[in-house]
Chain A
């Protein structure tokens, strides 16, 4: 995992340490939860593997959001750009029978959406959210139109879906499955869980997953370690200052938003070619928005985005693999977390929040002990509920880029 660089005013390395310990604590408590509740799916290798599959498109969307917002442009059109990615990815992969051409086309499709957003928000200084909403509408309609035009004579395809597409090659470390598999099945606290984690992360991984994972350190290096990245971030913090130093604000914003679209497009390709092997209308299912939420959750930093995406991917995967029962087990964890929060708030002398946390925690406990499972319909939307909960607990501690959402115009007239 990628280190988060020192947040405001703290010594360097502190953020990295915090991130790693948080991830570790979450994993240990999940292992404990598995032992207590007997829900093996909580840390099953298959769940880990599926988590990756679900997390990657969200993470790519989140990184896309990160690029745009670091340059000061809110990109709510990520969803539409993902749609472009799914359609173009599937069509070109099918037409050329080559997933890599599909990948390229999907990225370019997403970039086209990004370009449109950049034209509207940068050149014409339109409200960013307005433009994003319009792009989402446009992408949906345009792709359906294209499907009808191009898939009308293709058997098995139509207005709402493409023919089946070729997939990416899968990778995996040899012997790991054999070596750790038996250990994972033992059910030992933490040991088996770690073994599952290793197995889940090293076997049956799509090539595109690897590419996507590499985008995280790449984004970090480009944005935080190069002159280009410094300029891009400065544009999101104080475009007037950047302009006064001869930085080409408009160009940088364009680049950022187009890259943002490309990343969302890649996420779309992943959905169409890896997560399934077909383009379907509505396939993105709001993942662009969840990606944005993951980015906010991750405090506009690559490592944080990865963590947020992992969280959402995990609830999604768990829901799919373990169903309502597994999600139900999470209620216990949530209740415990809320009670811990309550203790913390009492120490900080904030009684209102503490009481609210206690009440919510107790309610969750009651819910946990009086039911066996979460209704399927609600379990499906657990990532969204998680998003809301996490944001309502974390929003105030975040530090968005200062000039975000501004309809900035160059001072030269």
Chain B
């Protein structure tokens, strides 16, 4: 079908968006008086969505474009995949924002605003969401369903009622204090995942984030504890130390890879173990540590002027504080995104990741790229321990959290190395951790969260691979059809 079939009236894009938004908001607001807020919101967004679908042919061309520019609206794929995905996403967006706003505003207003956001999403996504991106969302959705199923099965066969367990986790995980904890954990995880993702983007596996951040945190804590510096300068010095140590430790693996051809997978794993040895060696009262409590030793606690103040989380209804360094994580995320997509360095990084040989033939200094990306990865890894160090514990002791590097790998995989994807992955991961914290009180092993996490990583990876391959074939098919070719692609093309 084409536009030529229905040359009726046209509706300017902004106007259509405004109508959809007003419609959705109004319906939500009205229905909210009679029904529960979430039911009202669902009805409102669905109405707006229906309006968008009905008026789709009146909206001018330039407002619609798939991610790859091919005309997608009206194709089978668009109808069967993108449209339902748009509905799901706009509903989720509306519900989530309404629920968040509800913590601050009175219920009807929150619901109406949620309706507004949901309706706007429905319009924008319907016309702009590319099939390939929708496929990615669908992949994550499918993986989530599978992982939930597996987890439920594990619970069921352990003699634990799955639904009750999930409900309990959901309730506990959304308590205000839990949410603060989730945000704080995510901050740390996000940094770790970005560190890993920098390497992943060029097929470099920095398994050593774990050792890098522990060593960096220890030395940064020692610097902060022993050197008494004026505020601001102190924080900068501590952060700089962490970045330098993390970079240097990862740089060893980078150097070995470039100069001696040692696989970074093995070398970073070995460096992790060696880092454990060095921290154990340094963290003794003969060297860097002092007695913290009767059965704990650590670096001397930092002066209060060296701390990074937290953000009061009153708006979430909690008395706890959010790490001030959440802004550092956000800045790192933005920098990562800009670096990747807008800079020459990022282009060369991605090119090297896709095809080392092509990058080399194009004048990319692959060895330099390997070394630099390992270095940058390590520098970001150095930051991982800082939110905890500067925002909460203020010293590095025996009980400093370990294993975050490995969580970072999982989150990077879950978020597909995408700067925004990782945000959601980190939040989801810490939600599971936090929500499972209630389970021991019901005599349920809280490790079910780990099983759920590992399962979802595996399923996301598998489903994404399948979907990606399918999407590529679909795209080739579309192009073949558009060009009307009846010839094979290339001599060796089908061998892949």
Check A191 for interface membership: any CB of B closer than 8 A: no
Asked whether, in the complex, the Cβ of A120 is within 8 Å of the Cβ of B450, the reply is: no
Check B39 for interface membership: any CB of A closer than 8 A: no
Most chain B CB neighbours (cut-off 10 Å) among A116, A131, A141? A141
| Residue contacts A-B, CB under 8 angstroms, 6 given | A133-B207, A133-B410, A138-B451, A286-B273, A289-B266, A292-B266
Query: Which of A125, A133, A388 makes the CB contact (< 8 A) with B267?
Result: A388
Give Cα distance in the complex from A313 to B444, angstroms.
40
In the complex, the chain B residue whose C-beta lies closest to that of A124 is: B462
Check A392 for interface membership: any CB of B closer than 8 A: yes
Check A371 for interface membership: any CB of B closer than 8 A: no
Asked whether, in the complex, the Cβ of A296 is within 8 Å of the Cβ of B270, the reply is: no
Check A134/B406 contact, CB under 8 A, given A296-B266, A391-B262, A391-B266: no
Residues of B contacting A140 with CB < 8 Å? 450
Residues of B contacting A380 with CB < 8 Å? 277
Asked whether, in the complex, the Cβ of A286 is within 8 Å of the Cβ of B269, the reply is: yes
Asked whether, in the complex, the Cβ of B495 is within 8 Å of the Cβ of A296, the reply is: no
Check B261 for interface membership: any CB of A closer than 8 A: yes
B binding-site residues for A, Cβ under 8 Å: 154, 158, 205, 207, 256, 260-263, 265-267, 269-274, 276-278, 280-281, 406, 409-410, 413, 445, 447-451, 453-455, 457-458, 461-462, 465-466, 469, 494-496
Check A134/B494 contact, CB under 8 A, given A296-B266, A388-B267: no
Give Cα distance in the complex from A130 to B417, angstroms.
12
Check A343 for interface membership: any CB of B closer than 8 A: no
Most chain B CB neighbours (cut-off 10 Å) among A129, A130, A149? A130
Residues of A contacting B272 with CB < 8 Å? 286
Asked whether, in the complex, the Cβ of B269 is within 8 Å of the Cβ of A145, the reply is: no
A398 to chain B, nearest CB (A): 8
Asked whether, in the complex, the Cβ of B451 is within 8 Å of the Cβ of A129, the reply is: no
Asked whether, in the complex, the Cβ of B495 is within 8 Å of the Cβ of A411, the reply is: yes
Count A interface residues, CB 8 Å.
47
Asked whether, in the complex, the Cβ of A141 is within 8 Å of the Cβ of B277, the reply is: no
Check A384/B270 contact, CB under 8 A, given A140-B450, A409-B496: yes
Residues of B contacting A127 with CB < 8 Å? 461
Query: Which of B256, B447, B469, B494 makes the CB contact (< 8 A) with A388?
Result: B256
In the complex, the chain B residue whose C-beta lies closest to that of A79 is: B269
Give Cα distance in the complex from A391 to B260, angstroms.
8
A binding-site residues for B, Cβ under 8 Å: 76, 116, 120, 124-127, 129-131, 133-138, 140-142, 144-145, 148-149, 159, 240, 286, 289, 292-293, 296, 375, 377-378, 380-381, 384-385, 387-388, 391-393, 395-396, 409, 411, 413
In the complex, the chain B residue whose C-beta lies closest to that of A74 is: B265
The 9 closest A-B pairs by CB, nearest first: A141-B450, A138-B454, A381-B277, A145-B447, A148-B445, A377-B281, A377-B280, A384-B273, A392-B260
Residues of B contacting A384 with CB < 8 Å? 270, 273-274, 277
Asked whether, in the complex, the Cβ of A126 is within 8 Å of the Cβ of B465, the reply is: yes
B301 to chain A, nearest CB (A): 23
Query: Which of B281, B413, B454 makes the CB contact (< 8 A) with A130?
Result: B413
Asked whether, in the complex, the Cβ of A145 is within 8 Å of the Cβ of B256, the reply is: no
> Besides A135-B458, A141-B453, A392-B262, 8 other CB < 8 A contacts?
A127-B461, A130-B461, A142-B450, A293-B266, A377-B277, A381-B276, A388-B262, A413-B494
Residues of B contacting A125 with CB < 8 Å? 465, 469
Asked whether, in the complex, the Cβ of A120 is within 8 Å of the Cβ of B262, the reply is: no
Asked whether, in the complex, the Cβ of B445 is within 8 Å of the Cβ of A145, the reply is: yes
Query: Which of B270, B271, B278, B455 makes the CB contact (< 8 A) with A293?
Result: B270
Asked whether, in the complex, the Cβ of A395 is within 8 Å of the Cβ of B461, the reply is: no
Residues of A contacting B448 with CB < 8 Å? 145
B463 to chain A, nearest CB (A): 9
Give Cα distance in the complex from A96 to B295, angstroms.
40
Asked whether, in the complex, the Cβ of A388 is within 8 Å of the Cβ of B271, the reply is: yes
Asked whether, in the complex, the Cβ of B454 is within 8 Å of the Cβ of A142, the reply is: yes
Asked whether, in the complex, the Cβ of A381 is within 8 Å of the Cβ of B273, the reply is: yes
Asked whether, in the complex, the Cβ of A120 is within 8 Å of the Cβ of B462, the reply is: yes
Query: Which of B266, B406, B494 makes the CB contact (< 8 A) with A137?
Result: B406
Give Cα distance in the complex from A387 to B266, angstroms.
9
Give Cα distance in the complex from A406 to B270, angstroms.
24
Give Cα distance in the complex from A127 to B270, angstroms.
22
Residues of A contacting B458 with CB < 8 Å? 116, 120, 131, 134-135, 138
Give Cα distance in the complex from A133 to B408, angstroms.
11
B427 to chain A, nearest CB (A): 18
Query: Which of B256, B274, B496 makes the CB contact (< 8 A) with A392?
Result: B256
B289 to chain A, nearest CB (A): 13
Asked whether, in the complex, the Cβ of A378 is within 8 Å of the Cβ of B260, the reply is: no
Residues of B contacting A395 with CB < 8 Å? 260-263
Asked whether, in the complex, the Cβ of A133 is within 8 Å of the Cβ of B278, the reply is: no
A264 to chain B, nearest CB (A): 15
Query: Which of A134, A145, A148, A392 makes the CB contact (< 8 A) with B410?
Result: A134
Check A381/B451 contact, CB under 8 A, given A124-B465, A134-B458, A395-B262: no
Give Cα distance in the complex from A289 to B465, angstroms.
26
B252 to chain A, nearest CB (A): 8
Give Cα distance in the complex from A385 to B449, angstroms.
35
Asked whether, in the complex, the Cβ of B410 is within 8 Å of the Cβ of A137, the reply is: yes
Give Cα distance in the complex from A411 to B409, angstroms.
32
Give Cα distance in the complex from A149 to B154, angstroms.
11
Residues of A contacting B263 with CB < 8 Å? 296, 391, 395
Asked whether, in the complex, the Cβ of B273 is within 8 Å of the Cβ of A391, the reply is: no
Give Cα distance in the complex from A125 to B472, angstroms.
15
In the complex, the chain B residue whose C-beta lies closest to that of A395 is: B261
Query: Which of B262, B409, B447 makes the CB contact (< 8 A) with A144?
Result: B447
Asked whether, in the complex, the Cβ of A149 is within 8 Å of the Cβ of B454, the reply is: no
Give Cα distance in the complex from A409 to B267, angstroms.
29
Most chain A CB neighbours (cut-off 10 Å) among B154, B262, B276? B262
Asked whether, in the complex, the Cβ of B269 is within 8 Å of the Cβ of A375, the reply is: no
Most chain A CB neighbours (cut-off 10 Å) among B154, B266, B445? B266
Asked whether, in the complex, the Cβ of A149 is within 8 Å of the Cβ of B158, the reply is: yes
Query: Which of A120, A141, A240, A286 makes the CB contact (< 8 A) with B495?
Result: A240
Give Cα distance in the complex from A409 to B470, angstroms.
13
Give Cα distance in the complex from A380 to B260, angstroms.
25
B402 to chain A, nearest CB (A): 11
In the complex, the chain B residue whose C-beta lies closest to that of A144 is: B447
In the complex, the chain B residue whose C-beta lies closest to that of A243 is: B495
In the complex, the chain A residue whose C-beta lies closest to that of B257 is: A395
A15 to chain B, nearest CB (A): 21
Residues of A contacting B449 with CB < 8 Å? 141
Asked whether, in the complex, the Cβ of A137 is within 8 Å of the Cβ of B457, the reply is: yes
Give Cα distance in the complex from A368 to B319, angstroms.
56
Asked whether, in the complex, the Cβ of A148 is within 8 Å of the Cβ of B447, the reply is: yes
A121 to chain B, nearest CB (A): 10
Asked whether, in the complex, the Cβ of A137 is within 8 Å of the Cβ of B274, the reply is: no
Most chain B CB neighbours (cut-off 10 Å) among A144, A387, A388, A413? A388
Residues of B contacting A296 with CB < 8 Å? 263, 266
Residues of B contacting A149 with CB < 8 Å? 158, 445
A102 to chain B, nearest CB (A): 22
Residues of B contacting A148 with CB < 8 Å? 445, 447
Give Cα distance in the complex from A378 to B265, angstroms.
21
A132 to chain B, nearest CB (A): 9
Residues of A contacting B454 with CB < 8 Å? 134, 137-138, 141-142
Give Cα distance in the complex from A148 to B439, angstroms.
13
Give Cα distance in the complex from A136 to B449, angstroms.
15
